[in-house]
Structure 1
Amino acid sequence: MSGERSTEEQEWAGHDPLDDEPPPEAGVDGSTIPKVVVPRWIQLVGLPLLVVALYLIAKTAGVVLLAFTVAAVVALILNPMVSFLQRRRLPRGLAIVIVYLGLIGVLGFVGVLLANPVADQAQKFGNDVPSIVDDANNRLADLQDYFDDKGINIEVKRQGETALQTLQEKVVGGTSDVVDFGGQILKTAVTAGLGLLLVIVLSVYMLIYGERIGEIVRSVMPPGDGTPADDFPLRIQRAVAGYVRGQVFFSLAMGTGAGLGLYVFGATGVFPDGKTYAFAFGAWFGLMELVPFVGPFLGALPALVVALVQDPLTAVWLGIFFTALQQLEGHVVAPYIFGHTLRINPLLVIFALLLGGEAYGFLGALISLPIAAMLRETVVYLRRHLVLEPWGTTSVLGLAGPPPVRHCPECGSAVSQGDTFCRSCGAPQARTEVASQG
């Protein structure tokens, strides 16, 4: 059936429906919506003071600002579902409760769904560690015999056995260092739990007062044309939701690709354990794609370590596979997905990640891209609805938009500025009207 495509289809086809919105001068009812002119004194005094104030607030707030920012991102992610339930005539408070309960239920279901296969494969891997270490020790012994036969004075067996024994103790039995740091780990877990609880509480309050917050934001920002595509709060919400959707699809795609690749390596005999642990390795790889910078390396590390202690040549093949997977990720998957969701220059993406990581560490880098998406939408919106008064002699009235069209009082035809007679009927035009409109 022919017809216009839906918004989602347009986005995934490489077309942004927001790019088709009418210019800000044309309102939803056809009336003129002039741009807001920023006077020169505000440019000279107000904007620099605003930048300094924002910097001082961010520097003073510290972790508090981070908690509110994370809560705001969470609220923006969940608000579309709350609004959907509201349109089904549910009270907003009840809709918020249902959304949070549904979110907890979905996360619990996914956890139960993944827990058994991942736990089984992880347990099997832990049971196989002693045999893996024994195989590696045998290979080291063969290598040591080769060096001894050739008269090469290199001792690799003792050093290799020590390293492998340490690895086995870490994986299977643990060490006393883990026990010593148990209290610190517990303290960190409690702190993280309290931080998570604070974020949840803040996000709930933001959702409760979401409509009021949206009205306040609309009153502060320049007015739009009355359509959803030109509504600033909705644009921000769409930007964050699009990024989250793209990130989830991206992690699923990369995790599935890694798991299938390792399964093929196992089925062909190149890396036998790849078939056994394909699901666990793939799930881990997809999860690590959420981690900025070092995520791909951390995702590939478990499979590379297992392959290395079995056969260095197998580790080389896996290294080539993960390198090719990263090239596919960087040149095909990521541009296709994030090109339709984030819509930010790659250099700005890198800058946002570095700035977020420098300011707030891992969590700062994790939320830097949603914030960058919100800033992009803010800049685009302001460019469409604001104009800076130049520092020349141009009239401010000329910046606010084109002057209203004059009409002949006799025939109603449009009359150009400066005309003293109507070009259609020849009726004279009042000089005072021309002067007032000029």
Structure 2
Amino acid sequence: MENWPHKKLFFFLTLTILFLLAILLLVKLSPVIAAIFFFLSHLLLPFFISVIISYLLHPIVTKLHQRGVPRSIAVLLIYIVFFGSLAIILFHAFPLMITQMKELSEYLPNMVSKLEGWLENIRHNHEYPIPDSFQDGIDSTLENLEKKISTGFTNVTDWISNTIGVLFTIFLVPFVTFYILKDFKLIEKTVITFVPKKRRKEMIRLVKDIDEALGNYIRGQLLVASIVGIMAYIGYMIIGLPYSLFLAFIVAITDIIPYLGPFLGAAPAIIVGLSISWKMGLTVLAVNLMVQALESNVFAPQIVGKSLHIHPLFIILSLLVGGEIGGIAGLILAVPIFAILKVIFQHIGLYYSSRH
């Protein structure tokens, strides 16, 4: 028994080293994983969206069912309300957002040239001019940024213009979501049958722990991100920022990313503002600071509630790995995946600890 603390320390050190080696392997294999991720994201997109929507709506359906409403009726009610509201929002907002995205992609070269001219004036007229090497670096960065953004816009608009792909996704998502919600318990039982009987209790406990760790966080983050996007849109409209809906949509999407999200989301709007005038750029910055202050002090504490109990260093590490493998999508999924891995490793540790 005296050697047990040493064995325990050795075990957890080994587990940590294996975990770090797994991360290193993921980084090394990132081009292959990125290619697989790109293929699967296009192929399984309707099912992925359906699973996310089902995960969001399942607690509401369960509560209605516990109050005596038949599950099929509960699913149908929530289904009609959710997809009805979503259809109304998309019907009014989607065409405008696509128009603004196309207009912004066309305005991009003009915006970059304005920023370059603004930097050139500072370089020549300021009392302390910018060094040539630094100016060349800025010019190169702006040029690369313009190319990447233009390529991104082109890819998105090409996918949207592919009517068959969009219609296929729109058609499948409601049907798949309905059957996932309706037969949720049946799906759970079917999946459990693939697990050996002596491991089923452990697997059920693992799934419950993962759901407890992620459930409130994911639902809360999505709701907070939606509120942040709406507030940013209202603020952009008030100050008269062009392309306000599309820029607010970027703010909402990136807000899901911890720490980096607010900076990534605000950057495009601030750049557009600066291309108009100094005053507009500072006003856009002020709007984003106000929105983030409300999120941090009012909405996030009330809605998200419990944290994932992950140290900030590990969150940053997971964001670096996620960004390297999957870009923006990797950044969004990095923390939830890390939280799942954390729960799995904890269960593995407890399992081996109980055997000694």
* TM-score (normalised: structure 2): 0.53
Counterpart contact for 2:228–2:291, Cα < 8 Å: no
1:254–1:373 CA distance, 2 compared to 1 (3 A) = same
**Offset at residue 242 of structure 1 (A):** 0.8
**2:154 and 2:222 mapped to 1: Cα distance?**
33
For 1:251, give the aligned amino acid.
A
1:384–1:197 CA distance, 2 compared to 1 (3 A) = same
For 1:308, give the aligned amino acid.
L
Q: Could you tell me which residue of structure 1 aligns to residue 134 of structure 2?
A: none
Q: Could you tell me which residue of structure 2 aligns to residue 250 of structure 1?
A: 224
**Offset at residue 107 of structure 1 (A):** 1.7
For 1:255, give the aligned amino acid.
G
**1:285 and 1:210 mapped to 2: Cα distance?**
35
Q: Could you tell me which residue of structure 2 aligns to residue 190 of structure 1?
A: 165
1:345 matches 2:323: no
**Offset at residue 374 of structure 1 (A):** 3.3
**2:63 and 2:327 mapped to 1: Cα distance?**
35
Q: Could you tell me which residue of structure 2 aligns to residue 213 of structure 1?
A: 191
Higher share of residues assigned helix: 2
How is 1:236-315 mapped onto 2 (pairs within 5 angstroms)? 236-259=210-233, 261-262=235-236, 266=239, 273-274=240-241, 281-290=247-256, 295-297=261-263, 299-315=265-281
Q: Percent identity?
A: 19
**1:280 and 1:244 mapped to 2: Cα distance?**
23
Per-residue CA shift, 1:28-65, capped at 9, x if unaligned?
xxxxxxxxxxxx9xx99xx99xx89xx8xx98995588
SS of match in other structure, 1:342: coil
1:111 matches 2:85: no
Per-residue CA shift, 1:57-98, capped at 9, x if unaligned?
x98995588759947655544433443454435356x76666
Structure 1 unaligned residues grouped into runs of 5+: 1-39, 148-162, 168-173, 225-229, 267-272, 391-438
**1:183 and 1:76 mapped to 2: Cα distance?**
30
**1:359 and 1:318 mapped to 2: Cα distance?**
35
For 1:106, give the aligned amino acid.
S
**Offset at residue 364 of structure 1 (A):** 3.7
Equivalences, count: 294
For 2:215, give the aligned amino acid.
A
**1:259 and 1:188 mapped to 2: Cα distance?**
28
1:376–1:294 CA distance, 2 compared to 1 (3 A) = closer
1:353–1:333 CA distance, 2 compared to 1 (3 A) = farther
For 2:191, give the aligned amino acid.
I
1:383–1:112 CA distance, 2 compared to 1 (3 A) = same
Counterpart contact for 2:247–2:268, Cα < 8 Å: yes
**Offset at residue 295 of structure 1 (A):** 4.8
1:314–1:192 CA distance, 2 compared to 1 (3 A) = same
**Offset at residue 237 of structure 1 (A):** 2.9
Q: Could you tell me which residue of structure 2 aligns to residue 369 of structure 1?
A: 335
Per-residue CA shift, 1:226-249, capped at 9, x if unaligned?
xxxx95444433433312222123
How is 1:71-220 mapped onto 2 (pairs within 5 angstroms)? 75-84=54-63, 86-87=65-66, 88=68, 90=70, 100=79, 102-112=81-91, 114=93, 122=100, 190=165, 201=176, 204=179, 207=184, 208-213=186-191, 220=199
Counterpart contact for 2:65–2:74, Cα < 8 Å: yes
Query: Which has the larger displacement, 62-71 or 238-247?
Result: 62-71
Query: Which has the larger displacement, 250-259 or 59-68?
Result: 59-68
Counterpart contact for 1:82–1:96, Cα < 8 Å: yes
Q: Could you tell me which residue of structure 1 aligns to residue 128 of structure 2?
A: none
For 1:190, give the aligned amino acid.
G
SS of match in other structure, 2:353: strand
**Offset at residue 373 of structure 1 (A):** 3.3
Per-residue CA shift, 1:368-410, capped at 9, x if unaligned?
33333334444556666763444xxxxxxxxxxxxxxxxxxxx
* TM-score (normalised: structure 1): 0.45
Per-residue CA shift, 1:149-175, capped at 9, x if unaligned?
xxxxxxxxxxxxxx9xxx9xxxxxx9x
1:292–1:193 CA distance, 2 compared to 1 (3 A) = farther
Structure 2 unaligned residues grouped into runs of 5+: 1-6, 126-141
Counterpart contact for 2:213–2:339, Cα < 8 Å: yes
**Offset at residue 256 of structure 1 (A):** 4.6
Counterpart contact for 1:352–1:368, Cα < 8 Å: yes
Per-residue CA shift, 1:393-430, capped at 9, x if unaligned?
xxxxxxxxxxxxxxxxxxxxxxxxxxxxxxxxxxxxxx
Counterpart contact for 2:319–2:335, Cα < 8 Å: yes
RMSD: 6.2
**1:182 and 1:331 mapped to 2: Cα distance?**
34
**1:113 and 1:350 mapped to 2: Cα distance?**
37
